[in-house]
Amino acid sequence: MEWEVVIGLETHTQLQTNTKIFSGASVKYGAEPNTQACEVSIALPGVLPVLNKEAVNCAIKFGLAINAEIAPRSVFARKNYFYPDLPKGYQISQFELPVVGKGAVTIQVPAVGKNAAYEKVVNITRAHLEEDAGKSVHGAVEGMSGIDLNRAGTPLLEIVTEPDMRSAAEAVAYAKKLHELVQWIGICDGNMQEGSFRCDVNVSVRKKGSDKLGTRREIKNLNSFKFMTQAIEYETRWQIETLEDGGTIHQATVLFNPDTGETRAMRSKEEANDYRYFPDPDLLPLEITEADKARIHAQMPELPEAMKARFEAQFGLTGYDAASLTASRELANYFVATVDKGAEAKPAANWVMGAISAKLNAEEKPLEDSPVSAEQLASLLKRIADNTISNNAAKQVFEAMWNGEGEVDAIIEAKGLKQVSDTGAIEAIIDEVLVANAAMVEEFKAGKEKAFNALVGQAMKASKGKANPAQVNELLKKKLTA
């Protein structure tokens, strides 16, 4: 029997603000416990919430970035439940009228095995503003949990998709795309270790061809793409096996254990919740005008989709290359800077996606820590373009630059990598080679094309790699056919 997995994501993105969503307490990460827990954060009697303007701006940016409806009037509601990290006994969130409505994100699903890469549109149901809870710390005192409310009240934008994804690969491609997008538009720092970007994944399975959704289980708080893949794959297998064994799936909230690679139902969420949502009487409706949207729009950077189209049109890049270069704002900026400094677009694209990316990956470095700047890369590419060095020599220069051995021209000089482009000098080398390899010349004349390449190789060797290969080719052909 063929099964199909159906996946939807709810992502909590921590918004890049200075202060909490409803108070002037700092949201800086890593402070001593409860030192950023002001009277509003700890919910003293009588305190009241006042909404942070910057959090609203972030929500508007996101709405604009995914072409969504931005609600002219949205409402904050209270979600009521008891938990020690939730000091008011309710979370201020948005329920019936969220700030961002329906939108869409286009994702690139990479090739896996024999399946080719493809593009897919994931629909966004909504995105709403809400406050984060605090943290429970275990183990400090025997049998007790310690509550730190520094995080309580941190602004979040919860982004909810339709159940549009059909594989772990699609879910991860979406999560990565969203992760890049929120950083691109500057609303989230994307730091998954610090919990700035956390995904809840709803997984259900059904028989292929069915249009009814199965019962879903929600995997909570995945904070790495690797875990997301593992968790979805495990959960999918578990659900299929359960159903095939004649069992039933019960709606549940589950946690992924990275050590075992398994998911398990949360004990604290066993009981059915009745959150008793109602409009927060402390907060009037949030109104966003066309002027607000226009003001925010003017502050926004060019979005990845638009930049991709521009790269294709302006630089003649392929769709794939343009998409790869716009996968992150840093990468795109680096590419643009390289071109701005005088490099040709296509080689620049190849080098950025090739040598630069490979080095960064190997050394697990972010682009901002690249020892080779866009300007340096441009100088290098210019030296290839003006025939100062060969492509092969360029690789050596790049390696040396990466290792901090200096600027392009100095390295070329020091290593003697300058290409010989003097026709006379190359002709002299070729003449020597032709004399020394008379047998090969005969073979070529007898129609063996391969012999030509061998002669080119000999000539290059004789020049110690410094001869311009194109010139060698040209001159050799001329002499042989003369």
Partner 1 sequence: MSNTSLTNSSLFQLSQMLANKAISSVELTQAFLNRIDALNPSINAYIALDKDKTLAQAKAADARIAAGSAEPLTGIPVAQKDIFCAKDWQTTCGSKMLANFIAPYDAHVITLFNAAGAVNLGKTNMDEFAMGSSNETSYFGGVKNPWDFDRVPGGSSGGSAAAVAARLCAAATGTDTGGSIRQPASLCGFTGLKPTYGVVSRYGMIAFASSLDQAGPMAKSAEDCALMMNVMAGFDERDSTSLNRAKEDYTRELAKPLHGLKIGLPKEYFAEGLDASVATVIEAAIAEYKKLGAEIVEISLPNTGLSIPVYYVLAPAEASSNLSRYDGVRYGHRAAEYTDLMDMYNKSRAEGFGAEVKRRILIGTYVLSAGYYDAYYLKAQQIRRLIAQDFVEAFKQCDVIMGPAAPSTAFKAGEKVDDPVAMYLQDIYTISTNLAGLPGMSVPAGFSNGLPVGLQIIGNYFDEARMLNVAHQYQQVTDWHTQMPDLTMPKDIA
Partner 2 sequence: MALSIEDIKKIAHLARIEVSENEATTTLAKLTGILGLIEQMQAVDTTGIVPMSHSQDLAQRLREDVVTKTNQREEFQKIAPVLGNGSSEKAVDHGLYLVPKVIE
Residues that bind partner 1 (CB under 8 A): 39, 42-51, 78, 80, 82, 84, 87-90, 147, 274, 276-278, 281-284
Which option in partner 1, partner 2, none does residue 414 bind, with CB closer than 5 to 8 A by kind?
none
- Nearer Cβ to partner 2 (59/317): 59
Tokens of 75: 């409402």
The distance of closest approach from Cβ of residue 134 to partner 1 in the complex, given in angstroms and rounded to an integer, is 10
Which option in partner 2, partner 1, none does residue 95 bind, with CB closer than 5 to 8 A by kind?
none
Which option in partner 2, partner 1, none does residue 132 bind, with CB closer than 5 to 8 A by kind?
none
Which option in partner 1, partner 2, none does residue 403 bind, with CB closer than 5 to 8 A by kind?
none
Q: Are 231 and 256 in contact (CB under 8 A)?
A: yes
- What value, to the nearest 5°, has the Cα angle with vertex 458 and ends 454 and 462? 170
Which option in partner 2, partner 1, none does residue 45 bind, with CB closer than 5 to 8 A by kind?
partner 1
Q: Where are the beta strands (DSSP E) in 228-299?
A: 252-257, 262-265, 278-279, 286-287
Residue 341: φ, ψ to 5°: -85, 10
Give dist(CA 124, CA 8) in Å, integer. Answer: 10
Give dist(CA 264, CA 150) in Å, integer. Answer: 28
The distance of closest approach from Cβ of residue 202 to partner 2 in the complex, given in angstroms and rounded to an integer, is 19
- Nearer Cβ to partner 1 (39/405): 39
Give dist(CA 118, CA 234) in Å, integer. Answer: 24
| Burial class of residue 33 in the structure, from the number of CB atoms within 10 Å of its CB (0-12 exposed, 13-18 middle, 19+ buried) | middle
Confirm or reject binding of residue 43 to partner 2 (CB under 8 A): no
Which residues face 159 on adjacent strands? 11, 127
The distance of closest approach from Cβ of residue 142 to partner 1 in the complex, given in angstroms and rounded to an integer, is 14
From first CA to last CA, the distance across the chain in angstroms is 71
Give, as one character, the DSSP assignment of residue 115. Answer: B
The distance of closest approach from Cβ of residue 228 to partner 2 in the complex, given in angstroms and rounded to an integer, is 19
The distance of closest approach from Cβ of residue 222 to partner 2 in the complex, given in angstroms and rounded to an integer, is 15
Q: Are 338 and 377 in contact (CB under 8 A)?
A: yes
The distance of closest approach from Cβ of residue 274 to partner 1 in the complex, given in angstroms and rounded to an integer, is 5
**Relative orientation angle of helices 290-299 and 53-65, to the nearest 10 degrees:** 80
Which option in partner 1, partner 2, none does residue 35 bind, with CB closer than 5 to 8 A by kind?
partner 2
| Residue (of 126, 14, 63, 8) closest to 303 by Cα position | 63
Pairing status of strand 3-14 against strand 278-279: unpaired
Taking CB under 8 A as the binding criterion, the range among 275-283, 299-307, 341-349, 458-466 that sits at the site for partner 2 is 275-283
Which option in partner 2, partner 1, none does residue 60 bind, with CB closer than 5 to 8 A by kind?
none
Give dist(CA 372, CA 375) in Å, integer. Answer: 8
Confirm or reject binding of residue 267 to partner 2 (CB under 8 A): yes
Residue 478, C-beta contacts closer than 8 angstroms, at least 6 positions apart = none
Total site size for partner 2, rule CB under 8 A: 56
**Site residues (CB under 8 A) for partner 2, limited to 20-39:** 23-26, 32-39
- Nearer Cβ to partner 2 (104/255): 255
**Site residues (CB under 8 A) for partner 2, limited to 120-149:** 136-138, 140-141, 143-149
> What x-and-dash track marks residues 407-426 binding partner 2 by CB under 8 A?
--------------------
Give dist(CA 419, CA 390) in Å, integer. Answer: 6
Binding site for partner 2 (CB under 8 A): 17-19, 23-26, 32-40, 42, 44, 50-56, 73, 75, 82-85, 136-138, 140-141, 143-149, 255, 266-268, 274, 276, 279, 281, 283-287
